[in-house]
A and B are shown apart, each in its own frame.
Chain A
């Protein structure tokens, strides 16, 4: 399951990208590529324990959002 705060966007504010990138709706900024592996729960990573931003914003989620899933690009590329 991916982080419910994760979104893929090709623009936000004055930033635009050719390809949609990981965007954190809790921190309201694009995510570093290494952290995006945490957002996507890749390998043994888990956003619920490994991301301090998630832990700081967890109480803003309602129950439905905690169970939601964001489509990603697959396991590896």
Chain B
């Protein structure tokens, strides 16, 4: 995807990452944690313009859950509240054993999409989310079996090599869809030239989604829109609306990026248009 895609006016897919699994209400009390809260947040994000919701599951006290049953409760709540939004489950899980990472793929129906972390990522001072090639391949195999579209999460430029390696090892349905992630730590440094470089290193024909953590969320979303990519926003990645002001909701962050897209003349994709673009 390129600036030409922007000029051609290809619709923009907005993903709302509603809850995450790292921080919770201790960081922003408006972050949804329970299935009912996540269901309502999904509906509000869809109304605001999101075509996809990226979901993690939590215990009642906000701690991480990988249980299929908990994802099922969340999906049921999302489908009760939202109209047609695409459900994308996370398969991430720093410190969790491989078998737990498969559980979010086993809801009924299966999620239309699921994340696939492309390689290692440091957390805190002593943890690494390993995401070995063996684990990536095993998760991908189950996604294929269950008809789930992978969203390849590229935390840094080395993971671009991993995307090419995955394509050599396994067959991926077209189009390949990769989220390019920018921020501190193990992530690609959040500099505009690094987004340009990452896009240039994607496989031919791949679509990209743009994710900037924290205060980089809005600038990177804007650049992603201009470079013909898609965008992810939400409280999982950024709990602030602006410096010192907590976001009121996921929908508030979606509404803002919709306004930017509209000002830049880029149509926002409905869930049905997003399904066509992503080949779901």
Q: Contacts A32-B23, A33-B21, A52-B124 given; indicate if A21 touches B61 (C-beta within 8 A).
A: yes
CB of B60 within 8 A of CB of A77, answer: yes
Tell me the minimal C-beta distance from A19 to chain B in angstroms.
5
Interface-facing stretch out of B42-50, B89-97, B155-163, B194-202: B89-97
Per a CB cutoff under 8 Å, which of A20, A38, A76 touches B95?
Answer: A38
Which residues of chain B are near A19, meaning CB under 8 Å?
60-62
Provide the bound-state CA to CA distance between A73 and B97, in Å: 19
Question: Which of A33, A35, A36, A42 counts the most chain B CB atoms within 10 A?
Answer: A33
Contacting A21 at CB < 8 Å: which of B21, B22, B26, B70? B26
A24 smallest CB distance to B (angstroms)? 11
| List of A residues within 8 angstroms of B127 by Cβ | 38, 45, 50
CB distance from A53 to the nearest CB of B (A): 9
In contact, B100 and A32 (Cβ under 8 angstroms): no
- The answer to whether A43 touches B95, judged by C-beta atoms less than 8 angstroms apart, is yes
A22–B62 Cα distance when bound, in Å, is: 9
List of A residues within 8 angstroms of B26 by Cβ: 15, 21, 29-32
- How many residues on chain A are close to B (CB under 8 Å)? 28
Q: What chain A residues lie within 8 Å of B61 (beta carbons)? A: 8, 19-22, 73
By the criterion CB–CB under 8 Å, are A50 and B63 in contact?
A: no
Residues of chain B contacted by A51 (CB below 8 angstroms): 124, 126
- Judged by a CB distance under 8 angstroms, whether B170 is at the interface is no
Decide if B67 touches A76 in the complex (CB within 8 Å).
Answer: yes
16 contacts between A and B (CB under 8 A): A15-B26, A19-B62, A29-B26, A31-B26, A33-B23, A33-B24, A33-B63, A34-B23, A34-B64, A34-B95, A34-B123, A38-B124, A43-B95, A43-B97, A51-B124, A76-B65
Query: Which 3 residue pairs spanning A and B have beta carbons closest together?
Result: A30-B26, A77-B59, A52-B125
